[in-house]
Amino acid sequence: GEDVEQSLFLSVREGDSSVINCTYTDSSSTYLYWYKQEPGAGLQLLTYIFSNMDMKQDQRLTVLLNKKDKHLSLRIADTQTGDSAVYFCAESRGGEAGSYQLTFGKGTKLSVIP
Amino acid sequence: AAGVIQSPRHLIKEKRETATLKCYPIPRHDTVYWYQQGPGQDPQFLISFYEKMQSDKGSIPDRFSAQQFSDYHSELNMSSLELGDSALYFCASSLSGQNSNTIYFGEGSWLTVV
């Protein structure tokens, strides 16, 4: 079955880069996602990467995918206090009629120290 | 831009009562997903609908049912509520076709069962 694992906590200083890592087990995953959740709030889609890509960059965010090792990472450059949140890695499995069922990791709580 | 709208945002029910959560997807989105996130947990997939038909089923209890209506909004009905049903319930939506992997979540509905 699917399983997505992430480290639970990460603490960085403001201005430094943050790297959040994730491993997954389902080799048939088509897309891999990063969602951000602030306290008491919903899940904000940050970015996603197609499984046949190895890198995607979007402003301060860089996603790296090593499909052979089933390893996904999210790098946040110039981390700000507003980046403090829980970051969820998720893999998708294509379902019926083009729907995608997501399996989430436990989430990594990023704390940014001013 | 319009997002996924969920109501109510907060709900308190007693054990054995019923509850109904509503979800209004992003305009033109035809696929709706329901997820349950327990305290400190990752979101778990419950069920999804495409064009008013159930497209995928996850760990949804038999006490729960859901449907998608002709205007694409969806309702999650929960009966015989248990304390363990206390959670944040997310609705998400996507548009079938080329961008069907882009899944947007609502802010969630907090259900507390006492």
What is the token pair recorded at A81?
Answer: 């206090």
pLDDT tens by residue, B1-42: 679 999 999 999 999 999 999 999 999 999 999 999 998 899
Residue A59: exposure state from Cβ atoms within 10 A (0-12, 13-18, ≥19): exposed
Strand pairing class (B109-113; B10-13): parallel
3-state secondary structure of B66: strand
Residue A99 has its nearest CB partner, among B35, B44, B50, at: B50
> Nearest 5°: CA angle at B66, between B34 and A92?
30
Identify all chain A residues contacting B55, using CB atoms and an 8 Å cutoff.
95-97, 99
Helix, strand or coil for residue A15? coil
**Given an 8 Å threshold on Cβ–Cβ distance, is B103 in contact with A33?**
yes
Chain B residues near residue A106 by CB distance under 8 angstroms: 41-42
Higher confidence at residue A90 or residue A100? A90
Interface size A-B, in CB pairs within 8 Å, comes to 75
Interface touch B55/A45, C-beta < 8 Å: no
**Closest among B76, B49, B50, B52 to B64, alpha carbons compared:** B76
CB–CB contact B33 A99 (8 Å): yes
Query: Residues B91, B83, A104, CA angle at the centre, nearest 5°?
Result: 40
What span, in angstroms and rounded, lies between the C-alpha atoms of B95 and A38? 25
Residue B5 CB contacts under 8 Å (≥ 6 apart), including other chains? B23, B24, B106
Is pLDDT of A1 > 50? no
Report whether B66 contacts B76 (CB < 8 A): yes
Instruction: Give the pLDDT confidence of A22-32 residue by residue, as tens digits.
Output: 999 887 778 89
Chain B residue nearest residue A109, CA to CA: B40
Q: Which of B14, B8, B2 is nearest to B86 (CA)?
A: B14
Give strand pairing partners of B49: B32, B54
What would the pLDDT profile of A91-108 be if each residue is shown by its tens digit?
987 665 567 889 999 999
pLDDT in tens, A53-86: 899 999 999 999 999 999 999 999 999 999 999 9
Question: Measured between CB atoms, does B90 come within 8 Å of chain A?
Answer: yes
The two tokens of residue A95 are: 């379902």
Residue of A68, A51, A70, A48 lying closest to A2 (CA atoms): A70
Does B7 touch chain A if contact means CB atoms closer than 8 Å? Answer: no
A4-6 sheet: strands from edge to edge: A4-6, A18-24, A71-76, A61-66, A55-58
Dist CA A72 CA A66 (whole Å): 6
Residues of B in contact with A42 (CB under 8 A): 90, 105-108
pLDDT tens per residue across span B36-73: 999 889 999 999 999 899 988 999 999 999 999 999 99
Q: A55 pairs with which residues across the strands?
A: A64
**Which among A44, A100, A106 has the least Cβ separation from residue B42?**
A106
Q: How far is B111 from chain A (nearest CA, A)?
A: 13
pLDDT in tens, A13-62: 999 999 999 999 887 778 899 999 998 888 999 999 988 889 999 999 99
Interface of A with B (CB under 8 A): 30-31, 33, 35, 41-45, 48, 50, 88, 92, 95-107
Predicted pLDDT at B61? 96
Q: How many CB atoms lie within 10 A of CB A92?
A: 22
